[in-house]
Amino acid sequence: MITRKIDFNDLANFTDKQKEADRATSDYKYILYGGAMGGGKSYWLRWEVLKLLMLLAQKHNKRGIRAGLFCEDYPALKDRHLSRIMYEWPEWLGNLNKSEHEYTLKPEYGAGVVCFRNLDDPSKYQSSEFAIEAVDELTKNPKETFDFLRTRLRWPGIDDTKFLSASNPGGIGHAWVKGLWMDKVFEPTESEQDKFCFIRATALDNPYLSKSYFDSLKGLPEEMRRAYIEGDWNLFKGQYFTEWRDERHTVEPFAIPDSWKKYRAYDHGRDKPACCKWYAVDYDGRIWVYREFYQAGLNIDQIASEINRLSVNEYYDFSVADPSIFANTGFIDKSGGQTIAETFARYGVMFMPASNRRVDGWQLMHQYLYFDDNNAPKMLYFKTCKESIRTLPSLIHDDIRPEDLDTGGEDHAADTDRYMLMVMHERKTAKPLSEIELKLLKFKEQYE
């Protein structure tokens, strides 16, 4: 099929780290080449697509194989790729159709096509098929986009299709990207868990960076330096809860003393996860998040059943929920004609409405997560609260209203914390019961 041989390594001139990512495509299907600024991720992505097109054409003796190279919108596509291939890819290799945004390899290289596309509306590719998909800045997309693109990853007669991606930390998709490629947290139905591979790319891996650019990165504050130079996926540009550190905010579970006051908070969801969390407050006013329930796809009766099961033999000073579930308009349990809150009450789960003053709630979150050399955080999470630990540090600022967080992220666990903190402070009920108060309360409950 390919009649003219070329030395691809000389043509692409990959760095050692880019060569490592290139080798990974032989053994894995889903590759994430990600990390810091200046790691050469976009460069690797477009050249790797070219190489794979030629290899597939040769291996399967097929012409006209199509690959999709995607960015979140057209300006990003133009800036990162279309403006560069005119001087990077030699004329003898293929031709660019500017009106169609497609690059076609010459027949002697298999006549494969790189389709440059944007993801402002992924559904427009409903009828498309690609043997190779490549997404630049994957974290700028929700997981639904990745799930949809997987349905388009197919080509007649080719069973070794590839999904390539490159990304910096941050963005609305930070949590799910980190979850799949770094933390290896998969849905129970995921059948390709062993086909995901992450290659960390940092500024240190790129020998072509100018000294002045690298020096400017080294002069940044510590947190930005770690994110931009080292590609630390726990610190990144736009991160909302910059206070978060796993080593400072998470603890091993322990038995909660009976004298500590306890609370529950709930953020409703069905297609998106429902989140209920359990809190205890010690004598110093420190909050311990000691239990969580986090699951999508359940009806209210199933959610209520789980909350009741996890709440056996416990007393709560209050249980609070998203105020929208109390409205006659908005969330409605259409099967029974009741609001969500009324339906929960029917199953014995009694919620009171939380304040929905978002920015005020986030300010409380910042205060409770803050720590320094002399002060521990005022809110700590049991390590069993894995969804909170996974999602809270991944949230980002809203572009238009930076004091708020971007609701496009996975914010259910954060919203639940916000509801609890707002009500707790409005009611001023944080102080735990004394031993005498606890005995009086139990005595009262016994004879009521």
Asked if pLDDT for residue 446 goes beyond 80, the answer is no
**What single letter denotes the amino acid at residue 402?**
P
The band of 289, judged by pLDDT with boundaries at 50, 70 and 90, is very high
Confidence band, pLDDT 50/70/90 cuts, at residue 334: very low
Tell whether the torsion through CA atoms of 150, 155, 156 and 161 is positive or negative. negative
Q: What was the pLDDT predicted at 394?
A: 87
pLDDT band at 331 (very low <50, low <70, confident <90, very high): very low
pLDDT single digits (tens) 8-33: 878 888 988 899 999 999 999 999 99
Is the pLDDT confidence value at 45 over 90?
yes
Contacts of 32 (CB under 8 A, 6+ apart): 138, 165, 166, 167, 177, 181, 196, 197, 198, 199
The pLDDT assigned to 183 comes to 87
Q: Mean pLDDT over residues 346-366, rounded?
A: 93
169-173, 288-292, 365-369, 373-377, range with the lowest pLDDT = 169-173
pTM: 0.73
Residue where the block lists tokens 């790797």: 48
For residue 8, the SS3 value is helix
Q: How far apart are CA 131 and CA 112, in angstroms?
A: 10
Q: What is the pLDDT of residue 187?
A: 86
Angle at 361 between CA 359 and CA 366, to 5 degrees: 90
The tens digit of pLDDT for each residue in 389-438 reads: 999 998 989 888 889 998 888 999 999 999 999 998 887 654 454 555 45
Minimum mean pLDDT range among 134-148, 164-178, 291-305, 340-354: 164-178
Q: What pLDDT band is residue 36 in, cutting at 50, 70 and 90? A: low
* Calpha distance 239→303 (Å, rounded): 31
171 pLDDT band (50/70/90 cuts)?
confident
Write down the pLDDT at residue 330.
Answer: 45
Spatial CB neighbours of 352, under 8 Å, sequence gap ≥ 6:
318, 319, 320, 321, 423
By the 8 A CB rule, do 343 and 350 touch? no
Mean pLDDT of 219-238: 69
Beta strands in 111-260 (DSSP E): 113-118, 132-136, 162-167, 196-201, 250-251
Q: What is the pLDDT of residues 66-120, one digit of tens each?
A: 999 999 999 999 999 999 998 899 999 999 999 999 999 999 999 999 999 999 9
| 226 has a pLDDT exceeding 80 | no
- pLDDT value at 205 more than 70: no
Give the H or E element holding residue 412: helix 412-427
* Per-residue model confidence (pLDDT) at position 222: 65
DSSP, res 223: H
pLDDT of residue 81: 95
C-alpha to C-alpha distance for 83 and 75, rounded to whole angstroms: 10
Closest CA to 227 of 247, 250, 198, 200: 200
Q: 25-39, 161-175, 359-373, 385-399 — which is least confidently predicted?
A: 25-39
Secondary structure (3-state) at 397: strand
* 219-223 mean pLDDT: 67
pLDDT (average), residues 119-145? 95
- 3-state SS of 275-287? EEEEEEECCCCCE
All structural domains of the chain, each given as residue ranges with its CATH number in brackets, are 8-228 (3.40.50.300), 246-447 (3.30.420.280)
Q: What is the mean pLDDT of residues 290-300?
A: 95
The whole-number average pLDDT for the span 256-272 is: 93
Average pLDDT of every residue of the chain: 87
> Over 60: is that where the pLDDT of 215 sits?
yes
Q: What is the pLDDT of residue 224?
A: 65
pLDDT at 198: 95
- Distance in angstroms (rounded) separating the CA atoms of residues 353 and 355: 7
User: What is the percentage of the chain residues whose pLDDT exceeds 70?
Assistant: 85
